[in-house]
Amino acid sequence: MCISFWALDEHPGFWLVLAVNRDEFHSRPTLALHCWDDDEEEPEGDGPTSSSIVGGRDVSGGGTWLGMTKSGRLAFLTNVREAKFLTGRGTERTDVTSRGALPTLFLRSAKGPADYLEEVARAADDYNGFNLIVADVRRREMAFLSNRPEGAKAVVHLLRPGFHSLSNGGKDSKWWKMERGKRKLEAVLSALSSSSASASAEEGDDLPNELIVEQVLHDRTKPDDVSVQTAETGCTEAMERDVGSIFVDTALFDRAYGTRSMSVIGIRTDGTVSFFERSLEGGVWKDTLLRFPLEDCA
């Protein structure tokens, strides 16, 4: 269960500002933000190579929930919360391909976002429930695909400029924490644009990563009313309230569960990138910041 907020072409200095929380069992093996290739060996040098992926990695599944490449390709993923899998009335299918492969396959592909998602849509039933966003900076294109509701045709949607949010429901869900985080990100970027910092931002300064983490992604406030979520997911009010905050810290099935990483990506209009991650490793929060130029994206 994850949540993401992004501003697409809403700031003069940045084509995209993306803020993502990854929620997972604390015991699930995970590699924090780094540059990696399919052989899991980190490339030599200080930054990504043309072939490497920048992002965290799910050790169990082998894929990623959020990643990008130096060529300007970006992908992120959430699962879809379904009550039947959380109440013992059913289990997710095991005869399917890992959802974490979907971002990785796009990052390795040369296809445009819409074309890639059309291909995925034809095999949508081969995966458990997912929401997938992919983008190509060179094409200035971002697109969305979900294979839920179950049984419905998977349809590709091109995303327009604006402020967006996505969690474990539908693309157009109005969950309390989705709307709250979107407003918070808009406020941070509005302040950046209207302050003296906006002038320097156009000259190459990075985003206020830690400010976005603290004001947006680390918000532990829970909603009083979770009726919108329960109507959509079929889960209990107690469960929806437990995971109703942007930053999640709870237990599922008697196992520690919650936000494992908070990430902020800024893709500037001149084709340079900052990728910040605050990740939980061994009970300790650690910060990682990577900066690199994209190839042929200016």
Q: Is the preceding omega at residue 29 within 30 degrees of 0, hence cis? A: no
Quote the percentage of the chain above a pLDDT of 90. 79
Percent of the chain with pLDDT over 70: 87
pLDDT exceeds 70 at position 203: no
Contact 168, 155 (CB under 8 A): no
Domain ranges of the chain: 2-293
Query: What per-residue confidence (pLDDT) applies to 170?
Result: 93
List 69's β-bridge partners, or say none.
53
- As a whole number, mean pLDDT of residues 26-39 equals 91
- Residue 95: pLDDT band (50, 70, 90) is low
* pLDDT surpasses 70 at 274: yes
Half-sphere CA count of 220, side-chain side, radius 13 A: 4
Q: Who contacts 24 (Cβ-Cβ below 8 Å, separation ≥6)?
A: 1, 30, 257, 260
- Please list, residue by residue across 249-281, b when 16 or more beta carbons sit within 10 angstroms of its beta carbon and e when fewer do: eeebeeeebbbbbbbbbbbbbebbbbbbbbbbe
What does pTM read for this prediction?
Answer: 0.92
Q: Do the Cβ atoms of 145 and 121 come closer than 8 Å? A: yes
Torsion of CA 150, 174, 3, 298, to 10 degrees: 100
Q: Over 50: is that where the pLDDT of 201 sits?
A: no
pLDDT of residue 145: 98
- Kindly indicate the confidence band of residue 50, based on its pLDDT and cuts at 50, 70 and 90: low
Which tens digit of pLDDT belongs to each residue from 243-272? 999 999 999 889 999 999 999 999 999 999
Question: Is pLDDT of 279 > 80?
Answer: yes
Residue 202 has pLDDT above 50, yes or no: no
If you average pLDDT over every residue of the chain, what do you get? 90
Q: Flag whether pLDDT at 27 surpasses 80.
A: yes
Of the candidates 278, 276, 280, which has an alpha carbon nearest to the alpha carbon of residue 292?
A: 276
What does R_g of the chain's alpha carbons equal in angstroms?
18
Q: Which CATH architecture has domain 2-293?
A: 4-Layer Sandwich (3.60)
Asked if pLDDT for residue 171 goes beyond 70, the answer is yes
